[in-house]
């Protein structure tokens, strides 16, 4: 079955389209949650009486949830991709609802950290399912299409912010949207199948690996270089994501005199930009390769971030914000490469170890650093401008340590690179 999938002619089957449609709804909430964290930041700070440094500490603790997601993600190598996706999607929805009730910054932070575990697990598993189900010659476009359909979520918090502020719940009303994955659970239960690659691996009698066995496998001579490279690349991607987006709303409302109306005005353009960015990254991955696409997006993001936080003109800041949304597509590149670098029996584990247990520390450390530096300099803008240089550190890593994975065959136990 898996081998046949790799030899299919170009073009998406109806079953592939159905799979992408269901998972796109799930993936949408990665962009939604990251954007929501950014959008509600100044309002949460006022509601809980917390300054930028305190908000930075809160974001770091929430980021720890993404690291803890390593445990849940790796279980999909033991129990399958399907059950882990469904459990994490349900947990994320419930966590989003519970967040509305939190009375203090401490309780808000703890619930959001737990919710982040579920969010990151469902996103990583969704990309893994697509990578293991689609044939190699269209895997990049399929993941790009998945991200493009899901990019709508990133624009929703800013788009709905003004309306939410007029409700009794105020900014907390935005967390009601996070419960939406509950609507897709019946469809996932009925139509989502286990991936051919996982089924083939289980049929072959591959052992269920312990944590120590996973680490030994990933540190073996054939995989240790890939493990180290992807861990570093994920750290940079997470760190730069915080710099580019997490404090944007705080920055424009407090240092550039923007209002919720300004955010609502640019959100539709950001939505279109994110959609095109994800769609474009998928086509580029299959056209010019994973490495070239990743380099292009990291460099462009660095230039845009530094311009955005140095600018004072409304139109320049708005244009940079819109363009930065397209750069979110770099996450799809990283998810795709991570899936293609490792054999089936440790593929989910490798994602968990590289991205969550190691790489996500970038999302934990960056808010702390931004909060501390902004207190020293008195400016979020100056801090994020200089930290925007972090995007460029990915370039030599990709050039000299990352193999091209465009032709990787995921239907076999080993990746033919």
Percent of the chain surpassing pLDDT 70: 93
Handedness of CA 29, 159, 172, 56 (dihedral sign): positive
Q: 6-20, 137-151, 171-185: which range is least confident on average?
A: 6-20
User: Is there a domain that residue 271 lies in?
Assistant: yes
The CA–CA distances, whole Å, from 24 to 35, 75, 90, 326 equal 17, 22, 16, 17
Residue 115 near residue 102 (C-beta atoms within 8 A): no
User: What is residue 71's predicted lDDT score, i.e. its pLDDT?
Assistant: 84
CB 391 within 8 A of CB 265: no
Q: What is the span of the domain harbouring residue 64?
A: 17-401
Query: How far is the C-alpha of 380 from the C-alpha of 84, rounded, in Å?
Result: 38
In a domain? residue 198? yes
- For residue 120, the model assigns a pLDDT of 85
What's the pLDDT score for residue 291?
95
Q: Answer whether residue 371 shows pLDDT above 50.
A: yes
**C-alpha to C-alpha distance for 412 and 196, rounded to whole angstroms:** 11
417 belongs to a structural domain: no
The confidence score (pLDDT) of residue 7 equals 41
Return d(Cα 337, Cα 332) in angstroms, integer: 9
pLDDT in tens, 283-339: 899 899 999 999 999 999 999 999 999 999 999 999 999 999 899 889 889 988 998
**Residues 57-93 pLDDT 10s:** 898 898 888 888 888 888 888 888 999 999 999 999 9
Concatenate the DSSP letters of all residues of 269-320 into one string.
HHHHHHHHHHHHHHHHHHHH-HHHHHHHHHHHHHHHHHHHHH--SHHHHHHH
Query: Which residues have CB under 8 Å from 32's CB, separation 6+?
Result: 153, 154, 156, 157, 177, 178
Listed in sequence order, the residues at least 6 apart from 252 whose beta carbon sits closer than 8 Å to its beta carbon are 258, 262, 263, 317
- Report how many domains make up the chain: 1
Q: According to the model, what pLDDT value does residue 9 have?
A: 44
Task: Tell me if 247 is assigned to some domain.
Answer: yes
In a domain, 11, yes or no: no
- CATH number, domain with residue 219: 1.20.1250.20
Give the Cβ contact number of residue 1 at 10 Å.
10
- State the pLDDT at residue 375: 86
- Report the C-alpha gap between 148 and 280 in whole angstroms: 9
pLDDT band, very low/low/confident/very high, at 257 (cuts 50, 70, 90): very high
pLDDT, tens only, 189-203: 988 888 888 888 777
* Arithmetic mean of pLDDT over the chain: 86
265 in any annotated domain: yes
- Residue 412 confidence (pLDDT): 54
| Max intra-chain CA distance, the chain | 62
Q: What is the rounded CA–CA span in Å between residue 65 and residue 244? A: 20
Burial group, residue 96, by CB count within 10 angstroms (0-12, 13-18, 19+): buried
Closest CA to 8 of 127, 137, 109: 137
Q: Domain for residue 407, yes or no?
A: no
Q: Which residue has the higher pLDDT, 345 or 284?
A: 284
For the residues of 149-208, what is the DSSP string, one character each? HHTHHHHHHHHHHHHHHTSSSGGGGGGGGGGTHHHHHHHHHHH----HHHHHHHHTTPPP
Task: Say what the pTM is.
Answer: 0.72
388 pLDDT higher than 70:
yes
pLDDT at 210 (0 to 100): 79
pLDDT digits (tens, 9 = 90+) for 225-234: 999 999 999 9
Q: Is residue 390 part of a domain?
A: yes
| pLDDT tens-place string over residues 205-246 | 666 777 888 889 999 998 999 999 999 999 999 999 889 988
Task: Among 11-25, 99-113, 389-403, name the one with the lowest average pLDDT.
Answer: 11-25
């Amino acid at each position: 079955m898996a081998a046949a999938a790799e030899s299919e002619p170009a073009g998406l089957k109806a079953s592939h389209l159905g799979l992408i449609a269901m998972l796109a709804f799930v993936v949408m909430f990665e962009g939604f949650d990251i954007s929501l964290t950014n959008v509600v930041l100044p309002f949460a700070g006022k509601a809980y009486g917390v300054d930028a440094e305190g908000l930075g500490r809160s974001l770091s603790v929430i980021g720890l949830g993404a690291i803890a997601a390593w445990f849940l993600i790796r279980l999909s190598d033991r129990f399958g991709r399907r059950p882990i996706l469904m459990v994490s999607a349900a947990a994320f929805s419930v966590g989003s609802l519970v967040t509305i009730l939190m009375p203090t910054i401490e309780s808000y932070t703890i619930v959001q950290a737990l919710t982040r575990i579920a969010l990151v697990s469902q996103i990583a598993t969704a990309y893994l399912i697509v990578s293991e189900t689609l044939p190699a010659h269209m895997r990049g476009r399929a993941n790009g299409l998945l991200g493009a359909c899901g990019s709508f979520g990133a624009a929703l918090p800013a788009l709905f912010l003004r309306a939410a502020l007029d409700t009794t719940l105020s900014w907390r009303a935005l967390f009601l949207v996070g419960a939406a994955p509950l609507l897709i659970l019946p469809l996932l239960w009925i139509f989502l199948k286990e991936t051919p690659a996982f089924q083939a691996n289980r049929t072959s009698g591959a052992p269920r690996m312990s944590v120590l066995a996973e680490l030994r496998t990933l540190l073996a001579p054939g995989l240790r270089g890939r493990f180290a490279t992807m861990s570093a690349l994920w750290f940079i991607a997470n760190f730069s994501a915080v710099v580019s987006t997490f404090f944007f709303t705080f920055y424009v409302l407090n240092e550039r005199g923007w209002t919720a109306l300004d955010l609502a005005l640019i959100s539709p353009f950001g939505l279109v930009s994110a959609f095109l960015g994800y769609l474009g990254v998928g086509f580029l991955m299959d056209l010019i390769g994973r490495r070239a696409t990743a380099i292009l997006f990291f460099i462009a993001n660095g230039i845009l971030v530094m311009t955005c936080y140095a600018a004072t003109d409304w139109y320049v800041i708005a244009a940079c914000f819109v363009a930065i949304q397209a750069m979110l597509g770099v996450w799809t590149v990283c998810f795709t490469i991570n899936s293609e670098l490792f054999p089936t029996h440790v593929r989910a584990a490798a994602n968990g170890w590289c991205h969550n247990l190691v790489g996500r520390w970038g999302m934990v450390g960056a808010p702390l650093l931004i909060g501390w530096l902004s207190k020293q300099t008195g400016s979020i803008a100056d801090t994020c401008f200089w930290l925007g240089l972090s995007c460029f550190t990915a370039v030599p890593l990709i050039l000299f340590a990352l193999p091209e994975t465009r032709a990787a065959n995921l239907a076999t136990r080993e990746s033919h690179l």
